[in-house]
Structure 1
């Protein structure tokens, strides 16, 4: 068998060399890429016909090859079909040889029915530059093309549904997503604040005044950009005043009247505050208009303290041990203008707090939450969160004279949307009582007294603002 290899830079040049060697009856057996270009293995159709004839003789079917009657295609026609055929069909070298043999047998059988003496040989084939590991078969038949064998239908792959992701993993992924978004938003906001020196200075001033990073960032995010330093300070103070709810538009507590229970943590000044309110009412309406009740049976001398205050005002102080005694006393004092109930001081996490709240769950009792104005921000936050109920929306700030910074207390009142009903600023009864004035309290809170070891520096603000402005619980809607 006369089989030769031809090497050229491109498949077209290799095909041209093969055609020069074997003429128009060139048959391409294989092609592959090499370091120098493309290597083509070719032979003549007569050689392959002789091979098929020998194969046919061994099988008992003897036929003589006949020359082709049709005019062979020109080189230009062959070259023009190379690219189109290469994109449509592709197979390996062994598959190509099997296909050639099968096609020749089919044509020989068709020719035997019409022209028994004519044998149709396969047309010459030209290779295509390899684009993939599999070699490509190229057809250059000038007659009507014969449709290739249909490939067997592939069974579509069966897809197994992915297992359900556990809910706890989904919650962790959502939490991680929110954390990443929060960190990016914080870094972006801090970058903008550093570029704006006025905003950066106000942010530092609010943190030093004791306001939480949550409230400070919420306010400064809404500040207009076209303000100078003085206008920005006034704008921030106006926002704080509008959001600090007081009873300025309502009558004072001693004029409103009713039954009030003072609740709060230990040592915030509930007993003294009750005495001051009783003194205000006794001064305006007489001692007979006030009733005093204490529920504090834990603290030593609690009843005696309230009784001493009542004696100073000309008012009798009563002691209630349980809910039934409290109901009896409220019925006895029903004709009073104001009835004040002094409760036991209980820590927010004390289990007895629930019993106290159930004891006060009676009609017509209004709860007043007493907050120590000098308390730490986290302490105030916990107290408000634990004692606040849907019916406990009123508060009193005590010991403002002892507070170095009013910012934490005002911050808790603003974020939880409590109504501030009054302020106590000393131990004198009943003189050290003031109505809650938002403008005065905000101005007092923004006055920084000297330098504190707890004051942050400008470089520390990134740590303060590492949480989103909506991260704190109990935050209400801010009126900017």
Structure 2
């Protein structure tokens, strides 16, 4: 077997050269792209014989299409198309009985031996169908496509699983609704009032089955009020150091002034003092100092832990010292640094009360309370109740996180707009807000144009 190399602008021209010089019985060993076009390596057993080639065409035993039959005047331009046309002549995947595989093997071995003896031919491999795919698209692309297909299948399965879980949960919910329709209705009312689904399920679980709707609703409100922990008038009835912490804009400075004014009314102006460690907000000290002049009590400021310890030592004769802290987001790293000032051991114990707005969304309340996990909170103060349309969110947060409620504020007046927290009053206020804004016949039902909204 001999091997020759042919060059052409495209596959058609290169195959035509092979046909013209070696005849239709030549075997294509390899192909590759070069700078000027296509390079083919072809092998043949003997010198071409035109007469023998014509005679072989007329043999009736020939069952495999010849190269000239495959090419023709409109032959394929690529090896992929050539291979597809060759496979169309017989059954794919089965050996041709007219051409035993044993006869093909010696030719391949001889071709490999001859290719090894020539330096240039050694750079190519024997032709296989995989080479055709790699020639057109690249073998790595197949692996990437397989990985993408597998990822798409996994995503689709995950999506189907989520849909099935949703459908099963919906079926279970429908079953509960049919079994205990009154309980299901009341559970939805609690959720609409602002309570979390978890707390609503817990409360509904304790409702007796034989209660009417009205009896069950009253029972739920009483049960909810019993779950809320209140501390009473603890700040104004005790002595010590109290720090109000919380996010920015929650009204900590105004709340400090309200507590100081109430304490001064009860025990005298000499018994209370205010300290600010808010060095970030402009005029924070000036605002607190203005309240101090109105009340008539002492006002100090501290910019470091050592300075705060020194100020607290100077005010040790005061019955109550109220500390106004800087407002930070629950995701701000400076928050933890500020809270660590109270636990250095350089000063007396500082009680910490969380101040947050009552109209805060429930997920935000969860994040805020979670940010103070490293700190032991002695209670919380809910502000701006006059701006709320529902109170179920703060009730859920206080119950689920076992956070005692000390005071609530509902305005800017000092010291009038602050009240001691009462569980029944809070639940009653939540129910009234739900009745006023949450029920279908009281909520706005204006029609929204969907296209305009989009």
Question: What's the counterpart of residue 327 of structure 2?
Answer: 345
Tell me if the contact between 1:252 and 1:435 (Cα under 8 Å) persists in the aligned partners.
no
Give the corresponding residue for 1:424: 409
Matching residue of 2:222: 238
Cα distance in 2, alignment partners of residues 320 and 424 from structure 1: 27
Alpha-carbon offset, residue 285 of structure 1: 0.2
CA distance in 2, matches of 1:338, 1:348: 28
The partner residue of 2:303 within 321, 335, 341 is 321
Deviation by residue 1:247-298 (Cα, 9 ceiling, x = unmatched): 24xx531111211110000101111111111011100000101011101111
C-alpha offsets along residues 183-221 of structure 1, whole Å, 9 cap, x if unaligned? 867753552134323212211211111111121112112
SS in 1 for 2:336: helix
Q: 1:298 to 1:315 in 2, by over 3 A?
A: same
Residues 375-417 of structure 1, C-alpha deviation per residue, up to 9 Å, x if partnerless? Answer: 1111111111112445214111111111111111111111100
| Gap regions ≥5 residues in structure 2 | 1-160, 446-454
1:308 to 271, 290, 299: 290
2:381 to 396, 400, 407: 396
Partner SS state of residue 351, structure 2: strand
SS in structure 2 of the partner of residue 443 of structure 1: helix
* SS, match of residue 405 in structure 2: strand
Q: Which has the higher helix share?
A: 2
The answer for the alignment partner of 2:262 in structure 1 is: 280
Q: Say yes or no: does 1:217 pair with 2:201.
A: yes
Partners of 1:217 and 1:255 lie apart in 2 by 37
Going from structure 1 to structure 2, the CA distance change for 1:243 and 1:306 (only over 3 Å counts) comes to: same
Q: Is the 8 A contact 2:339 2:375 kept in 1?
A: no
1:253 aligns with 2:235: yes
Gaps of 5+ in 1: 1-176, 458-480
Q: Check conservation: 2:358, 2:382, Cα contact below 8 A.
A: yes
User: Is the Cα contact below 8 Å between 1:371 and 1:409 reproduced in 2?
Assistant: no
Q: What is the aligned partner in structure 1 of residue 437 from structure 2? A: 450
* Bigger RCO of structures 1 and 2 (CA < 8 A, at least 6 apart): 1
Question: Which aligned pairs between 1:60-99 and structure 2 lie closer than 5 A?
Answer: none
Match of residue 394, structure 2, among 409, 433, 439: 409
CA distance in 2, matches of 1:278, 1:305: 14
Query: What RMSD, in angstroms, separates the aligned Cα atoms of the two structures?
Result: 2.7
Cα distance in 1 for residues equivalent to 2:410 and 2:438: 24
Instruction: Tell me the distance in 2 between the aligned counterparts of 1:261 and 1:208.
Output: 34
- 2: distance between equivalents of 1:386 and 1:348? 6
Q: Write out aligned runs for 1:2-401 (5 A).
A: 187-248=171-232, 251-362=233-344, 363-389=348-374, 391-401=376-386
Using the alignment, how far apart are the partners of 1:180 and 1:294 within structure 2? 56
- For residue 369 of structure 1, give the secondary structure of its aligned residue in structure 2: strand
Cα deviations by residue, 1:29-76 (Å, 9 ceiling, x for unpaired): xxxxxxxxxxxxxxxxxxxxxxxxxxxxxxxxxxxxxxxxxxxxxxxx
Q: Secondary structure at the match of 2:437?
A: coil
Name the residue aligned to 1:142: none
- 1:437 maps to what in 2? 422
Hey, what's the Cα distance between the residues in 2 that align with 1:385 and 1:442?
24
CA distance in 1, matches of 2:410, 2:183: 33
TM-score normalised per structure 1: 0.55
Equivalent in the alignment of 2:25: none
Distance 2:422 2:308 in 1: 34
Aligned residues: 280
SS of residue matched to 1:276: helix
Preserved contact between residue 351 and residue 378 of structure 2 (Cα < 8 Å) = no
The verdict on how the C-alpha distance between 1:280 and 1:225 changes in structure 2, with shifts beyond 3 A counting, is same
Secondary structure of 1:265's match? coil
